[in-house]
Structures are given as structure tokens and as C-alpha cells.
Amino acid sequence: MLLSLLIVSWLIFVTTTASALFFRERTRGGLLGIFLLRTHAESPQAKKVAAGFAKACRCALLAAFGCSFLLLTRGMRPYAGIYLLVLAFAHFSSTWMILRHYREKLRAVKQKNGWAERPAGVVTVDLGVSREKGKSAVSAAWVWLFFLLSFAPLLYLSLTPAARETFPVGFSLIGPLCQTGAVFLYYQMKNLHAPAVEGEPEKNRACARAEERINTASAVLVALFFLIFWILLHAFIVFDGGALPTVLLAFATVLCLIWAAQRQRRKIRAAEDRIFGGLPEDPAGGEVPEEVWKWGCYCNPQDPRLFVPKRIASMGWTVNIGRPGGRALLFTIFALIAVLVGVLLYGNVKDYAVTVRDSSLSVDAALYDTTVEKRQVASVSVVDSLPDGTRTNGYAGAEKSYGHFTLNGYGKCMLYLYRDVGRYVVLKLGGNDPAYLILNGKSPEETQNLYREIRRWLEE
């Protein structure tokens, strides 16, 4: 379990760093989100700032990796979930502050040298380019095909009742939901504006065709990666592939998505250089004023758009919190995150408590309380090991696991277990849902005392 948590944290660190390093590469918008002409972006001064930014990001990544290994110490293991959550937030915050610091350095260099905001001779609209839309795109049939294939796990579960014990039917709908997002991404990428230079209609149309094909091909790749991830994740869970392959699959998928984004930007830059001989500026009209960006969010009450491109347009979209709808959406997102974090912290901190009454035994645990009547208990025993199984609905941390599980040879069980104790009290119940209640204490001695207490309760 600790190894899986470590890999998940490393995945978060690498994804955060890779996303930040996108700002280091020159785009039509300049460098680090600061608008610069091509010649200025490739000057020694600008390159020095970009190199410093990349070095700082890598140092933050190495520091996060180093701190993550503290999880292996005995003192940190009980707080593994909380510690990794705090560490991930700290790494995200430090990376954001590094980006902010080097943006200010680059802006100071720009002002010191008096670099121009934008040259003349570039326009944002070409009617000939508009008429080219849709003619060069990779067919939308691919993303719709991947959407239909994403229902394969749902079809499999419908035909295989036994698989539904380890893979809830409702969970199988997440795949089609992700593919719906990929379909939306395809049409957004298809409608992205291409640069247009005044007096060059043929070049403008050629660039529009090239970029439309590159952008839609990238969207199709993203849809394909989502589909592969979803199908393999379903197979790992149903056929009990274990937690580690699942985490590695997620890691590989994120790397593939990062590669797709880098491929898109590299091909677009190469196409523009080939067609125009180098396009030095942002076709949207230069750098967006810094005052509309607040704490990394776009805030412009005068802009009617709810969704706007990020500082680097190829990195996706962000919400305009200057609009009431944008603020409501951002608040909803933060509220959901707060609830999820709160549930994680509560589950990590709260221990479960076993209470024996006259006719019932109750287990109090975060979100997963349970009560069994004395008449439901067929037998009680102590074992030193448990077979492998799968969590169907519950909490699994580095220190304890509880909730609904399915164990090989046992079937559906309610588990309330502290890890690395090596002793478990097993109550066989008179039913199949659950068939067993399995619990222990924080030590073999506590577990043995719990067993004696339950036996006395059953004999009364």
C-alpha cells in the first residue's frame, strides 16, 4: 500500500512539473506567458530566465521526491494520507510561486530593454481561413467510435453478474463520461483559431489546414489514451490485477497525455515556421494584461466569455471568475475538493471503535458504521492471515482499511483492519451480503482481547 501511495504522489509531482515546464517553451504568446517577439524570446537574457525557471522547477521536483521518502519511516506511516496530501499541495504551491517569480523577472527584462509589445502587419481574422474550417480535420468518427467503445465495461458487467461484485455498475459509467469530455475537446480543438498574416491568403489557408489537422489529431490521441486507460483499468479490477499495476497504468496514461500535448505544440510551431518563415507574435493581439490574472485565475468582468484560453492556449481552458457564473463554478469546484479532502482526512485520523451490547455488536468508523445482531453470528475465530481481495466500497490507507471488500474464499465482507498486525477476528455471519465481519486491534494483544470479549458476548 505504501508503494502505491508513493507512486501516486510521484505521479502528481511529475504532472505538476511537466505542466509548469510548458511555460518555458516559446509559443506565439511568447515565453512564460509573457508576450515577446521571436527574436526577443530567443535572446540570451530571455533564455537565461527560462533556464533558471526550468532549474528551479526541477529542484522543487527533487525536493518533493526526497520528502516523499519520509513516508517510509515508522513515525510517518500512521499519517501517510495526510502527509502526501500536504506534500502534493506544497509542491503545487512552490511550483506556482516559482512560475510567478520568473514571470516577474522576465517582465523586468522586457521593460529594461524596451521590447515592443507587438509588430504591425498581423491581423486576427481572414475570411478565406474561416471558409477552410472543417476541411482538413481528422474525422470526428474516431472520437465517437471511442465513445461507443467506452461502454464495453458496462456491457461486460451486464452480461457477467459475478464481475459486478468487484466492479460496481455505476462506476463503469465514468469511462463514457470521460469520453464525452474527449468529444467536447475534439470540437474545441477543431475550432481553434489559426494565425493569419495580412496580404498572405494562401499561406493563411495552408496554416489553417495544417493546424486544424494537428489539433484534431491531438484530440483523437487523447480520446484513444482515455479509452485504453479505461479498458485496462476495468480489466485490472475485475481480474484482480492488484493496486500497483493500476497506479502504474495511471502514471503511463498521464505521461502519454503530456507527450500528446508536447507533440501538438511542437508540430504547430514547426508548421508555422515552415509556412510563414517564423511567426513572431500572438495572433490574438499580444499579451493579455497582467491585471486580469488574479492568483492564477482569469478575472475580467468586461469579458462575456465564461471559459477562456489559459496563458498558453494549447494547455486548455480556464474559468473567467470575473463573471457570476465563473465564480459560482469555481466555488463549486473548491467545495467538492474540500469535501473530498475532508473525507480523506477524517478517514485517516479517525480510529474505529467496537461496542458490544446485549444483543448486538456495533463498529463505529468514518462513513462505514455497521451493526450485527447476535443471532446473525454463526461462529467466531482468530486467524493469522487473510487471502487477497478487492475493495468494493471503503477506505484503504497505509495504516488501516475498512468498509466493503470481497476476499477470495470469503466473498463479501465488512473489514475493519489495522495493517501489519498479523491477527484477525473473523465473524461468520448467516448471510452472503456480507458473509463475514473481520476486524482486529492495533496489536496482536488487542486483537486477542477483542476476540475474548466477542466470545463471552456470544456465550452469554
Q: Check residue 244 and give its pLDDT.
A: 66
Burial classification of residue 231, based on how many CB atoms lie within 10 Å of its CB (0-12 exposed, 13-18 middle, 19 or more buried):
middle
CA distance 317 to 358: 59
The label of the residue with cell 487523447 reads: 222
Tell me the backbone φ, ψ of residue 302, rounded to 5 degrees.
Answer: -80, -15
Q: How many Cβ atoms sit within 10 Å of the Cβ of residue 337?
A: 10
Instruction: Say if CB 428 and CB 379 are below 8 A apart.
Output: yes
Cα–Cα–Cα angle for 302, 188, 214, nearest 5°?
A: 125
- Indicate yes or no: pTM above 0.85: no
* DSSP-derived 3-state class of residue 212: helix
- Written as tens digits, the pLDDT of the chain (460 aa) is 566 667 778 878 887 888 788 777 665 556 777 777 777 878 889 889 989 999 999 999 999 999 988 877 777 766 776 788 788 889 988 998 998 899 889 888 888 888 765 544 444 444 455 555 667 888 999 999 999 999 988 888 788 776 665 666 666 777 888 788 888 888 877 877 777 666 777 887 888 888 889 989 988 998 999 899 888 888 877 776 566 677 778 778 878 887 888 788 788 878 878 887 755 444 444 445 556 777 667 788 877 666 676 665 545 567 778 878 777 877 877 777 777 667 666 766 777 888 888 888 988 887 788 888 888 888 999 999 888 777 777 777 767 888 888 888 888 889 998 888 889 999 999 877 788 999 998 889 999 999 999 998 888 7
CA distance 417 to 354: 12
Q: Check residue 286 and give its pLDDT.
A: 45
Instruction: Say if CB 298 and CB 318 are below 8 A apart.
Output: yes
Q: Read out DSSP for 345-400? A: HHHHHPPPEEEE-SSEEEEE-TT--EEEEGGGEEEEEEES----EEEEEEEE-SSE
Instruction: Say if CB 45 and CB 34 are below 8 A apart.
Output: no
Q: Check residue 143 and give its pLDDT.
A: 92
Q: Check residue 122 and give its pLDDT.
A: 43
Closest CA to 366 of 390, 342, 336, 333: 342
Burial classification of residue 61, based on how many CB atoms lie within 10 Å of its CB (0-12 exposed, 13-18 middle, 19 or more buried):
buried
Tell me the backbone φ, ψ of residue 115, rounded to 5 degrees.
Answer: -70, 140
The count of residues in the chain is 460
Q: Check residue 295 and give its pLDDT.
A: 66
